[in-house]
Amino acid sequence: MKKVPVTEIEDGMLLAKPILGTDGKILLAPGVELKATMSSRLRNWGVVIVNILEERDDTSEEKENKLNKLEMTFEQVLENPNMKLIYDAVKKHIMDSE
Amino acid sequence: MEDTLKHLKDITNKLSDLPTLPTVVSQITQLMQNPRTSAAEVGEAITTDQSLTSKTLKLVNSAFYGFPGRIKTITHAIVILGFTTVKNIVLTASILNVIGKTGKSKEFDQEAFWLHSVSTGAIAKVLAELYKHKISEEAFIGGLLHDLGKVIINHCVVDLFEEVLIYRDKHNCLLKDAEKGVLKVTHQEIGSWVAERWKLPSNLTAVIQYHHNPELAGDYKEITGLVHLADIFARALGSGSGGDNSIPIVSETIWNDMNFNSIDLPKFLERAEDEITKASIFLQAI
């Protein structure tokens, strides 16, 4: 799953999470295919970002890239307990992301 | 200390093509300090500058603020979004107007730089809300502009900036240490010098000067601490790049002052990422 600003919706994107109205009712259900032309209507509903389904392979490769980058960024600072705490939390955040 | 001032003078003497901010910016900052100033007065001041007006209206109508295409005048924007928000939009729009989003050095990824900046702003905003500090707007702009000094170096003394980048790679150090090695002063010092010349609000100047050592920020320790933490989390999340491959160590004073151990980190990171996605809209609109 990835987050996409409404301004960047493309034809054929599949919704991963429902879009809810202010009253909590479902306006668009998960799995609905989006069209670029829906962008302005969504904006009028006050929607800013939408959750889009991704193909499985892309997700795991992206995760691996993110974890490698994280490792490199923190290489020199892991002895600091607070930095270690941040590192662990972000690592878990990346691994748990859908 | 005296040495730093001398080195700073050496560099700032070379900033001959430092752009000037439109006078309307200092007018507005002044107007806002007077509690009796009306929305119409501020609106009038802004509309004297055509390009600033259209840029401001473009931003307030972007999806970021949630009133797409509905706000037609500056006065209307002030009524709906409030003084502080409009002031911050005008400030950001005019700074980005004069320095531009593109840098001069081809060795520096400017797109990644602005993504890092806007991500820092977004996270600082989330932190301000989390701690119930009523400065989330200021925190956003502070994060967005905290690295002003880097932009200035890349804009005004690009040959020296490229020497800094070479030094950084050779010594595998943080950009600020490479700046110290080559220029003898850092982007914090250069940035705050420019901020003072531009008469930017003092909380913003403090953020620019002290985001790497927020415990020294005096009256503005709160907002500077938020931006300091946000900068570190933007790097940790790998959202853009301010020009470093590594990460500075978080200030222990700020960590303890904010009692950061008690924060629900997974929930915070989730919110931070949402806000970053939202803020990328802001970046497109500007």
Please answer yes or no on whether A72 and B64 come within 8 Å at the CB atom: no
Chain A's closest residue to B64, CA to CA, is A48
Q: What is the predicted pLDDT for the residue at B58?
A: 87
CA angle B228, B264, A79 (to 5 degrees): 55
Cβ distance B238 to A70 less than 8 Å, yes or no, reads yes
pLDDT tens digits for range B130-151: 998 888 889 999 999 999 999 9
Residue of B nearest to A85 (CA): B261
pLDDT average, residue stretch A20-32: 82
Is residue A7 scored above 80 in pLDDT?
Answer: yes
| Site from B65, B250, B267 to mutate, A interface, most A CB atoms within 10 angstroms | B250
pLDDT-derived band at A58, boundaries 50, 70, 90: low
pLDDT category of residue B38 using cuts at 50, 70 and 90: confident
Beta pairing partners, A28: A19
pLDDT of residue B268 exceeding 90, the answer is yes
The average pLDDT across A24-33 equals 85
Residue in chain A closest to B253 (alpha carbons) equals A82
Examine the pLDDT at B30 and tell me if it is beyond 70. Answer: yes
What domains, with CATH codes, occur in chain B?
16-99 (no CATH), 101-286 (1.10.3210.10)
Nearest chain B CA: its distance from A45 CA (Å): 9
| Cβ within 8 Å, pair A48-B237 | no
Judged by average pLDDT, the poorest of B39-53, B93-107, B208-222 is: B93-107
Mean pLDDT across A21-25: 77
For the ranges A3-7, B67-71, B189-193, B200-204, the lowest mean pLDDT is seen at: B67-71
Substitution target from B246, B260, B261 for chain A, most A beta carbons within 10 A:
B246
Q: What is the mean pLDDT of residues B257-277?
A: 94
Closest partner CB to A7 (pick from B63, B236, B260): B63
Per-residue pLDDT at B103 exceeds 80: no
In angstroms, the CA B67 to CA B80 distance is 9
Given a cut of 70, whether residue B1 has pLDDT beyond it is no
Q: Min CA distance, B35 vs chain A (Å)?
A: 32
Q: How confident is the model at residue A3 (pLDDT cuts 50, 70, 90)?
A: confident
Token pair 């960590």 in the structure block, residue: B255
Contact between A89 and B247 using a beta-carbon 8 Å cutoff: no
Among A7-16, B36-45, B257-266, which range has the highest average pLDDT?
B257-266
By Cβ distance, the residue of B249, B266, B270 closest to A83 is B249
Buried b (16+ CB within 10 A) or exposed e, B80-95: ebebbbbbbbbbbbbb
Is residue B271 pLDDT above 90, yes or no?
yes
What average pLDDT does range B98-121 have in this prediction? 87
Q: Which residues of A touch B266 (CB under 8 A)?
A: 89, 92-93, 96
Instruction: Give the CA distances from residue B73 to residues B46, B67, B229, B284, in Å, rounded to whole numbers and listed in that order.
Output: 10, 13, 36, 21
- For the segment B208-230, the average pLDDT, to the nearest whole number, is 97
Q: Above pLDDT 90, what percent of chain B?
A: 52
Q: What is the DSSP letter of A15?
A: B
Per-residue confidence at B2, pLDDT binned at 50, 70, 90? Answer: low
Which has more confidence, B268 or A5? B268
Instruction: Check pLDDT > 70 for residue A36.
Output: yes
Under a CB-based contact definition with an 8 Å cutoff, are residues A93 and B266 in contact? yes
